[in-house]
Amino acid sequence: MYYNGFMTIATGIMGATGFTGVELIDILGRHPEFELRVAGSNSSAGELVASQNPFVSNLAKDLKYTDLSLENFAGLDLVFAALPHNTSANIIPDLIEKYGVRRVVDLSADFRLKDSGLYESYYGFNHPRKDWLQKAVFGIPELYRDNMKDAQLVAAAGCYVTAVTLAVHPFLKAKVVADTIIADCASGVTGAGKKLAPATQFTTVNENFSVYGLINHRHRPEIEQVCENKVLFTPHLLPIDRGILATCYFKVTQGVSVGKLQSILSDCYQDESFVKVLNSPPDLKSICNTNFAGIFVTLDEATDTAIVVSAIDNLLKGASGQAVQCANAVFGLDESMGLN
């Protein structure tokens, strides 16, 4: 075995210069078990990793970015794939099957959906490795950690999906959701990635607030798959760097009180390290730059409607932090390792 302090877990990152890749480098710099040995980036190949990450501790000073050739990652214990959609699908199975990578945590959407047809509808490509869709474990540890132990591939959940699912899962489990869930969400600009686009440039975003992806946003089928419930999902773009605030609404079953909802939420997450049940609605400043999810619930008795508010950092609990939490679970480590 290669964990619990007896042997370093040799780790690589594919896409190490994107927003999520940089966060992964920062986390791995303080992780006592995962040692970053390969940082893949075609755009920065040959440059010192430390030159772009000067404040990361325990980073090998002579480590250079490599290109994304699969042979550069051969034999690693763990690879984090922080690549664009429709990229991971073509290479991750080969990493495992041909290049001996033991475990992969994928931060793209390429292995999250079990129905391959949804990739054609929402992502515009025919999935090349449908056999791996059923093998991949969905990556929200609070829901699926028992399936992660020794998993070859974990498909880390999307940021919106994480914020919404953690908010409504306890109530779906308790069977007090009477109808469609409405998820009204807002995200910081880093959720769109580093690639330049008119909609995410400073002059467009600054002092603005906009809706996008109405009805057919790519995260909707992912949310519905996990929740096994109809979800009306509306995302908005905030003029801030990072963070997601999700306000979720649903009709409750007859006789459910606000006290009952609060008890359901508290009981579900009482033993979770990274979910905080709050007595008032969370805000983004208090949650950003952490791997926590803050959740609050109340009830509008006039309409029998539950209101659940959750907040996460889209780059940490919604991406890189959660990916490391998943990897910790895969290797049987304390899930908080490297994340506090």
Which tens digits make up the pLDDT trace of 252-299? 999 999 999 999 999 999 999 999 999 999 999 999 999 999 999 999
Q: Tell me the mean pLDDT per 10 residues along the chain, length 340.
A: 62 96 97 97 96 92 96 98 95 97 98 96 95 97 95 97 98 97 95 71 81 89 96 94 97 97 98 98 96 98 98 98 98 95
Measured between alpha carbons, how far is 118 from 124 in angstroms, rounded to an integer? 9
Sheet holding 275-277, edge to edge: 210-211, 231-237, 181-187, 244-251, 305-312, 293-300, 275-277
Closest CA to 108 of 174, 15, 205: 15
To which residue do tokens 């008119």 refer? 198
Which tens digits make up the pLDDT trace of 23-35? 999 999 999 999 9
Residue 4: predicted pLDDT: 47
Q: Is 303:230 a contact under the CB 8 Å cutoff?
A: no
Measured between alpha carbons, how far is 122 from 18 in angstroms, rounded to an integer? 23
Residue 196: predicted pLDDT: 64
Q: Which run of H or E residues covers position 307? A: strand 305-312
- At position 213, the amino acid (one-letter code) is G
Residue 340: predicted pLDDT: 83
Fold match between domain 9-158+319-330 and domain 160-312: no
Domain boundaries, the chain: 9-158+319-330, 160-312
Measured between alpha carbons, how far is 265 from 295 in angstroms, rounded to an integer? 9
CB-based burial, 211-239: b 16+ in 10 Å, e otherwise: eeeeeebbbbbbbbbbbeeebebbbebbe
Residue 7: predicted pLDDT: 67
Count of alpha carbons within 13 angstroms of residue 314, beta-carbon side: 23
Tell the CATH topology of 160-312.
Dihydrodipicolinate Reductase; domain 2 (3.30.360)
Task: Give me the numbers of helices (H) and strands (E) for the chain, helices first please.
Answer: 12, 14
- Virtual CA dihedral for 257, 260, 266, 269, nearest 10 degrees? -100
Measured between alpha carbons, how far is 307 from 305 in angstroms, rounded to an integer? 6
Q: Is 12:21 a contact under the CB 8 Å cutoff?
A: no
Return the structure tokens found at 279.
């007595």
Rounded mean pLDDT of the chain?
A: 94
Measured between alpha carbons, how far is 65 from 39 in angstroms, rounded to an integer? 5
Measured between alpha carbons, how far is 155 from 326 in angstroms, rounded to an integer? 9
Helix, strand, or coil here: 80?
strand
Architecture of domain 9-158+319-330: 3-Layer(aba) Sandwich (3.40)
Which tens digits make up the pLDDT trace of 180-208? 999 999 999 887 766 767 777 877 878 88
What residues are labeled active site? 159
Q: Is 72:38 a contact under the CB 8 Å cutoff?
A: yes
Return the structure tokens found at 214.
């109405």
